[in-house]
Amino acid sequence: MSVSAETFGYVADLVRTHSAIQLVPGKEYLVESRLLPLAREKGLTGPAAVDSYVRDVRRSPDRGELTRVVEALTTNETSWFRDTSPFTALRQHVAPAARAQNPGTLRIWSAACSTGQEPYSIAMTLLENGERRFSVLATDLSTAVLAQARAGQYSQLEMNRGLPAAMLVRYFERAGAGWGVKDELRRTITFAQHNLLQPPPAGGPFDVVFLRNVLIYFDAATKRDILSRTRRAMRPGAHLVLGAAESMVGIDDAWERVPTAQGSVYRVPGGIS
């Protein structure tokens, strides 16, 4: 089973237009795996199910189905405290540096937050660090994943992906067969829909921005634009946390690289060094 070249080309163009994410040849398997559940919802089966589904979407006047296709292809895997080191850096360096510059409420932006594990992990890290005056704005392009993030309801399988047992007990409570976020954690976070191709969301200037595992999907020009807009939404001296495979090299030299114990983060010039 494999999608046709026509189907892949149409979906790749659609996703690029609405999100700037590049689906290069070789990603046909991703298009097929992400769209097959949508095709089955429509009663389409067999080797050409995805091709038939996309053909119907192209003919349909229902623009909502186009949104579902884009969201299916732009939703990424996530887990609690993913990659560990960014949260160590937040606890040991970034949060103390932000607090030294801002005695008021720290403002954190978790961009492309998916189903919410990252912003909840950020909030838990800060609460465990004794921080109480902070707010986290969590955004994503997909309204579907934001609905789950906002609800704060997770299955046992989702909870098993990286969440320490002590934090499970402290910040979550049983909700049917799964778990729900307790109010202490929930009230620290606001969720909102946002496209990184647009100006940054309201809520800044931000002291810390997590923009992890997102830039790898964009071309160099789009990365540069996103980083420039993000920087303008941050305080002088604020910190940016990227994914482990992401770098400013050859993209944007307007940031200061700050080595940490397990990697590095980036800093907006200015503020208190």
Distance set, CA 172 to CA 128, 163, 164, 166 (Å): 14, 11, 11, 10
List, in order, residues 6 or more apart from 62 with CB less than 8 Å away: none
Q: For residues 228 and 220, what is the distance between their CA atoms, to the nearest angstrom?
A: 12
* Residue 140 a catalytic site member: yes
Helix boundaries (H) for the chain: 5-19, 28-41, 49-59, 63-74, 85-89, 95-101, 117-128, 143-151, 156-159, 165-171, 183-186, 220-232
Question: From the candidates 140, 212, 231, 267, which is the catalytic residue?
Answer: 140
In one letter, which amino acid is 111? A
Both structure tokens of 106: 């720290």
* Residue 207 a catalytic site member: no
Q: Which residues are catalytic?
A: 34, 140
